[in-house]
Amino acid sequence: MQIIPAIDIKDGHCVRLRQGDMQAATVFSEEPAAMAQHWLELGAERLHLVDLNGAVSGRPKNELAIREIVSVVGDDVPIQLGGGIRDLDTIERYLDDGISFVVIGTAAVKNPGLLHDACYAFPGHIIVGLDARDGKVATDGWSKMSGHDVVDLARKFEDYGVEAIIYTDIGRDGMLTGVNIAATVNLAREVKTPVIASGGIASLKDIHDLLRYESEGIIGAIAGRALYEGRLDFKDALKAAKGGA
């Protein structure tokens, strides 16, 4: 299982939000590219980027910062990026810029045809992000509830050929209350597509809890605030994920 550091970008800075609230942002670095380099040096095998302004506005807003990260990372590790991706041209541009995987969230729910076309046009490069509260999917930077059941949508998108599913419990994201193991495992059991856990990872215990279900198809865990606040030591998490203590 991979431990994937999150670099959330707002107004060109690396920040963390609480439950997706743009007004509750904590700035952890003025230079996202330097933060990417930091995680690389600690052994990161994948990075998770989010254009937070893009997620809210529906179009890319932090492309300069993203390109700077790509220039630092190069071909060393894959980068997955979400936030404000609503059309095939944007997907193609990001992939051409060096992004490995494009994460489609709100657009997948509102316009499933886009996700279907993206999977066809860019096979192996499309990840769907399902952000849910109480089993229902949220959209628009988590500001709206769609009413769609997360498992039903996951099955539908699996048929499209998505590379992976990022599942985020938005009630826990940024709250350091622990990942929603039950909901994550339930989703992983209902689909064959690999699942990446996200939202609420607070400590090494969460990593160990997820590892118990790695065989169910949970291939990674995205960690944010816990890493930045020092509650989760990245090297310890990597060691655990590779079968260490």
Q: Could you say which of 8, 51, 206, 209 is catalytic?
A: 8
For residue 35, give the 3-state DSSP assignment. helix
Cα–Cα distance for residue pair 138/120, rounded to 1 Å: 25
Residue type, 217: G
Cα–Cα distance for residue pair 218/240, rounded to 1 Å: 15
Q: Could you say which of 11, 51, 76, 131 is catalytic?
A: 131
Neighbours of 68 (CB within 10 A): 17
Active site residue 131: yes
Cα–Cα distance for residue pair 137/130, rounded to 1 Å: 6
Structure tokens at 160: 């499209």
Query: Residue 122 contacts by C-beta under 8 Å, 6 or more apart in sequence?
Result: 91, 92, 95, 102
Give how far Cα 161 sits from Cα of 122, 194, 197, Å: 10, 11, 19
Catalytic residues: 8, 131
